[in-house]
Structure 1
Amino acid sequence: MKPLKGKIALVAGATRGAGRGIAIELGAAGATVYVTGRTTREQRSEYNRPETIEETAELVNRAGGRGIAVQVDHLDANQVQNLIARIEKEQERLDILVNDVWGGEYLTQWNVPVWEHSLDRGFRLLRLAIDTHIITSHYALPLLTRNKNGLVVEITDGTAEYNDKNYRLSLFYDLAKNSVIRMAKSLAHELSPYECTAVALTPGWMRSEIMLEHFGVQEENWRDATVKEPHFIISESPRYVGRAVAALAGDREVARWNGHSVSSGQLAQAYGFYDLDGSQPDSWRYMVEVQDAGKPANASGYR
């Protein structure tokens, strides 16, 4: 089954993490996926990490789609404009835009008040997390809105409901993630006349390359990390949020989610998909009812 065969997707920020998982799952559903980022096999970004956009494109191909790697700094308007011009020339359409650019893992100073937080790091975080999404939407949406049923997915951290009630451990991080949620709501309004949809989507506690490295584990033995952090038992692979995006993209009634803030776990229950291990982690409900409530780690009934 290739429900997205013939569909053209752009995953902005697909070098690693959620972006890579989303690109792979869109490919598995048959889409042609443009994967962008700054790190290639010849050049690394400020992250100085080994993951590359070429690797992501190859994983898309192995999954059954077509991956096209394009090096793009999404803060550079000219580069983004050239990217969209290339997609228009090569495909003549754009059906799915995933704004996943983040770039703040090494910039956030957790539990540090704003008067002690580095302004340079804080403002760099905001530019990477917010400006990139706006620039990309500015150039991509004229192409996406040429056809009905286009989909924009804004990847964030936390649902609107959860974030409204909780401080996200840094003014800059809190502002960045809530801004993306609000961005999806605004885009939903602007896209409605074109019969296109915008959704804010959050993974749960995601086992990104950086997170696995932090705990000194691999995907194959991720449960060993629960020795250091018992609540990691609720974690999910990047492919889980990828399956959430693929489910949205294949839904002919996706407009029902227009402007909504949703999680991978919520969409798993709505669409009936599972993570790689056959589970359905519901991280945000777990965080409220178990982790934030101070209860011992126990994922029974939550995955």
Structure 2
Amino acid sequence: MSDLETRTAPLAGKIALVAGATRGAGRAMAVELGRAGATVYATGRTTRAAVSEVGRATETIEETAELITAAGADSGSGGTGIAVPTDHLVPEQVAALTGRIDREQGRLDILVNDVWGGDHLLDVHATPPMWEIGLEQGLRMLRLGVESHIVTSHYALPLLARNRGGLVIEVTDGTAESNRDYRLNFFYDLAKNAPIRMAYNLGEDLKKYGCTAVCVTPGFLRSEAMLDTHFKVTEENWREGIEREPAFAIAESPTYIGRGIAALAADPERARWNGASLSSGDLAKEYGVTDTDGSQPDAWPFIKALAEGKQPDAADYR
């Protein structure tokens, strides 16, 4: 590969699976991996023919695959998107998915475990004690945020570990440092802390195979649902949401974490991060990537300062 090809398509020839790529951070990570030249299998439950329990029909995995391919064409990297409808809580579906990747590609270089889809089970304005949360509701959070990741890794890692250099990215909400504080409620806290430990544990299992596992988190994400459902704004006028929620001043687009992930995947020295917990701000500082507006939001320190009763200036954290 020439120097130009290395710069424009650093992930050319790499095969990625982004589990949970319908929208938000998952979609952005899939698109940016494709922009860097990877062939990306994008999975999720919402298709043009069916809608998941999340209840949003406006984003589909078919559209994600098309955006991946368009990004690959735009960058000249040749990255390609492949949509595969998959419920990652159904082992037979995940086994079929990884079997297909094996048949079609013969390898898997990057696994992004981004499955969640549990925001509809939350009331972000309430922190009830564990016993006041419906058991079915709480256990569903754990199934969506923990079991789905375990099922996916069980079937995908034998393929990934076949070749040295593989990368597993567990995606969560919060870093190991920020999640020392209680997160909303008992079940949500468990669901979002588990991927941090999963990455550490998988790193121990994978290092003997020359592979790496890392946990990553976006900051205050301007996902599609966050914009149009929670704040009633668009990407163009998102700052109007700051009046409702001061922490929104540090909000970042999904592209930011996507760019950070693509840079991490292209880093030949990424093994130094094995078992680590990293934020989008950490990735930006390390790799020099920026958000779509050219800034480098570092959300978690800003949010902590707000929680401590301080009045931080968001500009100081960009």
Q: 1:231, 1:297 within 8 Å by CA — same for their partners in 2?
A: no
CA shift at 1:294, angstroms? Answer: 1.5
Which residue does the alignment assign to 1:27?
34
- Alpha-carbon displacement from aligned partner over 1:155-183 (angstroms, at most 9, x marks no partner): 0011111112x100111010011111101
Q: 1:93, 1:146 within 8 Å by CA — same for their partners in 2?
A: yes
- Alpha-carbon displacement from aligned partner over 1:90-146 (angstroms, at most 9, x marks no partner): 111100000000011011244111111111111011001100100000000011011
* Inter-partner Cα distance in structure 2 for 1:217 and 1:91: 41
Q: 1:38, 1:71 within 8 Å by CA — same for their partners in 2?
A: yes
Which residue does the alignment assign to 1:245?
261
Read off the aligned partner of 1:2 and give its amino acid letter. A
Which residue does the alignment assign to 1:61?
69
* Inter-partner Cα distance in structure 1 for 2:117 and 2:128: 19
Which residue does the alignment assign to 1:91?
105
Read off the aligned partner of 1:69 and give its amino acid letter. A
CA shift at 1:267, angstroms? Answer: 1.0
* Higher deviation after alignment, 67-76 or 224-233: 224-233
* Inter-partner Cα distance in structure 2 for 1:225 and 1:190: 43
- Alpha-carbon displacement from aligned partner over 1:185-223 (angstroms, at most 9, x marks no partner): 100000010010000101000001111021001112111
CA shift at 1:297, angstroms? Answer: 5.2
State whether structure 2 residue 86 is matched by structure 1 residue 72. yes
Which residue does the alignment assign to 2:303?
287
* Inter-partner Cα distance in structure 2 for 1:224 and 1:60: 30
Q: How many residues align?
A: 301
State whether structure 2 residue 206 is matched by structure 1 residue 199. no
Q: 1:11, 1:19 within 8 Å by CA — same for their partners in 2?
A: yes
Residue number among 160, 178, 182 corresponding to 2:197 in the alignment: 182
Q: 1:108, 1:121 within 8 Å by CA — same for their partners in 2?
A: no
Q: How does 1:132-143 map to 2 (within 5 A)?
A: 132-143=148-159
- Alpha-carbon displacement from aligned partner over 1:279-301 (angstroms, at most 9, x marks no partner): 0000011122x311222352122
Which residue does the alignment assign to 2:116?
102
Residue number among 123, 136, 139 corresponding to 1:123 in the alignment: 139
Regions of 4+ moved over 4 Å: none
Q: How high is the sequence identity, in percent, across the aligned residues?
A: 62
- Alpha-carbon displacement from aligned partner over 1:198-255 (angstroms, at most 9, x marks no partner): 0010100000111102100111211111121122110101111111111110000000
Provide the TM-score with structure 1 as the length reference. 0.98
Q: 2:18, 2:114 within 8 Å by CA — same for their partners in 1?
A: yes
Gap regions ≥5 residues in structure 1: none
* Inter-partner Cα distance in structure 2 for 1:297 and 1:70: 44
Q: What secondary structure, in the 3-state scheme, does the structure 1 residue paired with 2:237 have?
A: helix
Provide the TM-score with structure 2 as the length reference. 0.93
Which residue does the alignment assign to 1:228?
244
* Inter-partner Cα distance in structure 1 for 2:259 and 2:191: 24
Residue number among 266, 278, 294 corresponding to 1:278 in the alignment: 294
State whether structure 2 residue 259 is matched by structure 1 residue 259. no
Which residue does the alignment assign to 1:16?
23
- Alpha-carbon displacement from aligned partner over 1:60-113 (angstroms, at most 9, x marks no partner): 111112000000000000000000000001111100000000011011244111
* Inter-partner Cα distance in structure 1 for 2:237 and 2:71: 23
* Inter-partner Cα distance in structure 1 for 2:137 and 2:16: 31
